[in-house]
């Protein structure tokens, strides 16, 4: 169990599979085998126990990465193997910082619908939801929550880039445009700052999300498993600096900080769904 915890600690702190293998003194295939096993266990636990969340303010966003190669460079046989662009959808409770739902896949309306249906199944009450200007959210939120939601979009406005052909980062943000879609959302809480900060945490905590390196995922399934491990560690093991507890504790889903050994024990414990 201590060796499993050592491997998990290295992975959730942004190390690659090979560096984890060298640091912990185990074979590379041992680390590679652990990723799907712990990923499935984390995904099952999240699906079973992160439910009935009383979230008042939810922020949603999606973050881009690629598997194998970028979509523009993917041959037909690569695309058939699910290589190319991949998006991770996240919904975070702005008060507890709990990641309520996440989904790895495409970015079209079908994925937006499935994502918001999952969010709706995990929250109780009437939440206020803020998203960016991605159009599929408009129908997806209404289909999932109907009129029992206060929903608004926040679209950032960027100035003209001085060197559009060479500039890697976005141009300077010069303003925002907010639109009320459903209900009566509180304008003081129209923000996507927390979920965008969570996107940065993902890039910093998973080697697969590091830009301009060769650490990207080579297989779609392992990419999804890595995301599941990240959010399980983020919700239950990692103490939030401002909250001084884990997001799961703040949301009432746990009464203590999980150790990495307990996280690793999910490999041996059967997951049972709760009502």
> Quick one: pLDDT at residue 66?
95
**75 three-class SS:** coil
In contact, 194 and 97? CB cutoff 8 Å: yes
Distance between CA 239 and CA 132 in Å, rounded? 28
Q: Is 81 a domain residue?
A: yes
Q: 245-248 long-range contacts, Cβ below 8 Å, gap at least 24?
A: 247/93, 247/96, 247/97, 247/98, 247/99, 248/50, 248/98
Q: Is 275 a domain residue?
A: no
Q: Is 22 a domain residue?
A: yes
Mean pLDDT, the chain, integer: 92
> Quick one: pLDDT at residue 190?
93
> Quick one: pLDDT at residue 273?
39
CA distance from start to end of the chain: 30
> Quick one: pLDDT at residue 212?
86
pLDDT grade for 44, boundaries at 50, 70 and 90: very high
Determine the structural domain holding residue 224 and report its residue range: 2-267
Q: Is 226 a domain residue?
A: yes
Residue bearing the bigger pLDDT, 271 or 65: 65
CATH label of the domain that carries residue 178: 3.30.420.10
pLDDT grade for 274, boundaries at 50, 70 and 90: very low
Which residues fall within 8 angstroms of residue 67, CB to CB, at 6 or more apart? 82, 83, 84, 86, 216, 217, 218, 219, 220, 223
Mean pLDDT calculated for residue range 105-115: 96
> Quick one: pLDDT at residue 74?
87
> Quick one: pLDDT at residue 79?
87
Q: Is 18 a domain residue?
A: yes
Q: Is 151 a domain residue?
A: yes
Strand-pair category, 99-105 with 84-93:
antiparallel
Which residues fall within 8 angstroms of residue 210, CB to CB, at 6 or more apart? 14, 203, 216
> Quick one: pLDDT at residue 270?
61
Mean pLDDT calculated for residue range 161-173: 66
Domain total of the chain: 1
Mean pLDDT calculated for residue range 217-229: 96
């Amino acid at each position: 169990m201590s060796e499993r915890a050592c491997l998990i600690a290295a992975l959730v702190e942004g190390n690659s599979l090979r560096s984890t293998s060298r640091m912990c003194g185990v074979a590379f295939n041992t680390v590679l085998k652990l990723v799907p096993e712990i990923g499935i266990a984390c995904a099952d636990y999240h699906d079973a126990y992160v439910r009935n969340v009383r979230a008042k303010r939810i922020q949603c966003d999606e973050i881009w990465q690629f598997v194998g190669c970028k979509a523009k460079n993917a041959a037909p046989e690569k695309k058939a193997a699910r290589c190319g662009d991949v998006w991770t959808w996240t919904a975070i409770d702005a008060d507890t910082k709990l990641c309520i739902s996440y989904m790895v896949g495409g970015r079209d309306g079908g994925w937006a619908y499935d994502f918001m249906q999952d969010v709706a199944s995990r929250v109780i009450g009437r939440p206020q939801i803020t998203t960016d200007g991605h159009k599929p959210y408009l129908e997806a939120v209404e289909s999932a929550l109907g009129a029992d939601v206060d929903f608004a979009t926040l679209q950032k406005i960027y100035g003209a880039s001085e060197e559009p052909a060479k500039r890697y980062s976005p141009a300077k943000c010069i303003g925002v445009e907010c639109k009320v879609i459903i209900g009566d959302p509180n304008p003081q809480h129209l923000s996507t700052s927390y979920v965008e900060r969570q996107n940065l945490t993902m890039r910093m905590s998973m080697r697969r999300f590091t830009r301009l390196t060769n650490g990207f995922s080579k297989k779609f399934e392992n990419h999804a498993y890595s995301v599941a491990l990240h959010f399980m560690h983020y919700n239950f093991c990692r103490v939030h600096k401002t909250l001084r507890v884990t997001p799961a504790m703040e949301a009432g889903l746990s009464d203590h900080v999980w150790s990495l050994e307990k996280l690793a024990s999910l490999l041996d414990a059967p997951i049972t769904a709760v009502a």
